[in-house]
Amino acid sequence: MSNFGIGQPIRRKEDPRLLTGKGQYVADLNFPNQVYSTFLRSSHAHARIVKINAEMAKSVPGVIAIYLGADLEEYQLDGLPVSFMPENAPPGYQPKFELLARDTVRYVGESVAMVIAKSLEEAANATDLIEVEYEALPASISLEEAAKDGAPEVWPGKAPFNVGFLWQGGEMEAVVTALREAKHLVQIDVINNRVSIAAMECRAAIGVHDKISGRSTLYTA
């Protein structure tokens, strides 16, 4: 058996630093005038945002600001582009992931509102008071369902059958010939279960801006 690969023991490198208290997390950092933000996230896989009421949340002590998707245009903040597209792939649809959903949520957990407050507790309390009225829309829960004719489209009119791009590699003609001439064909559906790590510190970041130098520094987990 090889010295590397599946089944081989891997000695962890980060344990001594973390177990002896020498590790550092984003939560360990504190800067002058530091404020905190939390996000209200969608509970729907697909829905239209009918109305958002954040008035009660704004009255929570310590709240500095609350931002909704409608505020993004005022601040000229665009969505995050899709940076991955296979080489030599035909043109496909590359949506921009909105920083805050504006009129439609497209997955459970999509950010709908951002609360900024003087403490994490105050931000969380205000987030709980934001009321969102949704109009639930049909959703697909598997790749096969999403690609069927008539399935709900995540991006209507832009990505038919919910397909972002089509890509193939190798010599297709040779593959087709080999399959056609094979004595036996075996077909199998392989489904990968959802995998998630269990980080000691979940996603977190602190941004520090120096007005004098114009330099911004981002600390992240």
pLDDT tens readout for residues 176-204: 999 999 999 999 988 888 888 888 888 89
Read off the amino acid at residue 212. I
CA 164 – CA 80 distance, rounded (Å): 16
pLDDT of residue 114: 97
Confidence of residue 4 (pLDDT cuts 50, 70, 90): low
Greater model confidence, 90 or 124:
124
Mean pLDDT, all residues of the chain: 90
Q: Look-up: residue for tokens 């949704």? A: 134
Q: What is the DSSP letter of 193?
A: P
CA 161 – CA 82 distance, rounded (Å): 19
Task: Kindly state the tokens that stand for 74.
Answer: 């005022």
Asked whether 57 and 127 are in contact (CB, 8 A), the reply is yes
Confidence of residue 3 (pLDDT cuts 50, 70, 90): low
pLDDT of residue 187: 93
Greater model confidence, 105 or 23:
105
pLDDT higher than 80, residue 143:
yes
Asked whether 130 and 49 are in contact (CB, 8 A), the reply is no
Task: Kindly state the tokens that stand for 51.
Answer: 């109305």
pLDDT higher than 60, residue 2:
no
